[in-house]
Amino acid sequence: MPISIKTQEEIEIMRKAGKILAQTLEEVIKYAKEGVSTGELDKIAEDFIRSKGMLPAFKGFQGFPATLCTAINEVVVHGIPRMDEILKDGDLFTADCGVLDKGFYTDAARSIIIGNNPSKEKLRLIKTAKLALDRGIMMAQPGNHVSEISIVIEKTIEDAGFKVIHDLTGHGVGRDLHEEPTIMNSWDGTKGPILKPGMTIAIEPIFSVGTSEIITLKDDWTIITKDRSCAVQEENTILITESGNEILTVQ
């Protein structure tokens, strides 16, 4: 599939949807407290998105049953929210969400620690994820190769002593939830495509404390670390502009 360059009209659709997605994740994080279920948070997210006249992008996508992908501790991505899955003090919690409006997708994720007793390791995981995302976004400039994003993300993660999960990547986003190009979180030795104005991409560092190896559970969605060590993800949808970039999934 060729890389999609968005028109100004399409960018404006994504810009509005991205703002709603950022607001959705703010709502989720606001209610993500000790004793709250991931199922409750999923309902909050879906109700908020629909109240804005937009659609939850993940719900029904390839059969996924929920609005949020939720991840706690060793869950890496694609966890299915449940009413009997209760957040506990000290959990590292990630909410990954998408919004669909007028045929265009945006995608973002946020990670936090639940409660008032965070471990230093989990705090460092989140700090590293935010730093890796910020550095990746800095490299998302017109004329740069996709690999320049991958290289800086990998270096940030490895310098912190954590392990890149190579099988999970960022991606183009827009007319489809997953478009070209693939945005690796490590360098595969190739330059990759050149970034051009009008491209929209989801950059999402995903890594763990102890391993690059992952296991998919029996629900065929939930992915965990093989060694059960804690994992983290941070993500934003980015527009490549003539002079740099714009983060679409912010308020």
Cis peptide before 181 (omega within 30 of 0): yes
Q: What is the pTM of this model?
A: 0.97
Look at residue 1 and tell me if it is in a domain.
no
For residue 53, tell me if it sits in a domain.
yes
Tens digit of each residue's pLDDT (9 = 90 or more) over 130-184: 999 999 999 999 999 999 999 999 999 999 999 999 999 999 999 999 999 999 9
Q: Please compute, for residue 112, the number of CA atoms within 13 A of its CA located in the half-sphere on the CB side.
A: 18
Q: How many domains does the chain have?
A: 1
What is the 3-state secondary structure of 131-165? HHHHHHHHCCCCCCEHHHHHHHHHHHHHHCCCEEC
Residue 249: CA atoms inside 13 Å, Cβ hemisphere, count? Answer: 30
Asked whether residue 224 is domain-assigned, the answer is: yes
What mean pLDDT value characterizes the chain?
A: 98
The answer to whether residue 35 is domain-embedded is yes
Which amino acid is it at 231?
A
User: Per residue in 79-130, pLDDT tens?
Assistant: 999 999 999 999 999 999 999 999 999 999 999 999 998 999 999 999 999 9
* CATH number of the structural domain spanning residue 132: 3.90.230.10
- Encoded amino acid at 53, one letter: G
Q: How far apart are CA 225 and CA 217, in angstroms?
A: 11
C-alpha radius of gyration, the chain, whole number: 17
Q: How far apart (Å, rounded) are the C-alpha atoms in residues 238 and 137?
A: 8
Instruction: Say if 2 falls within a structural domain.
Output: no
Q: Long-range contact list for 68-72, CB < 8 A, 24+ apart? A: 68/28, 68/38, 68/41, 68/42, 68/95, 68/96, 68/97, 69/95, 69/96, 69/97, 69/109, 70/38, 70/41, 70/42, 70/94, 70/95, 70/96, 71/96, 71/231, 71/233, 72/38
Would residue 3 count as lying in a domain?
A: no
Phi/psi class of residue 195: alpha, beta or left (left: φ > 0; alpha: ψ in -120 to 50)?
A: beta
Burial of 96 (0-12, 13-18, 19+ CB in 10 A): buried
In a domain, 233, yes or no: yes
Structural domain boundaries, residue 35: 8-247
Q: Is residue 228 part of a domain?
A: yes
What does the pLDDT look like over 20-74, one tens digit per residue? 999 999 999 999 999 999 999 999 999 999 999 999 999 999 999 999 999 999 9
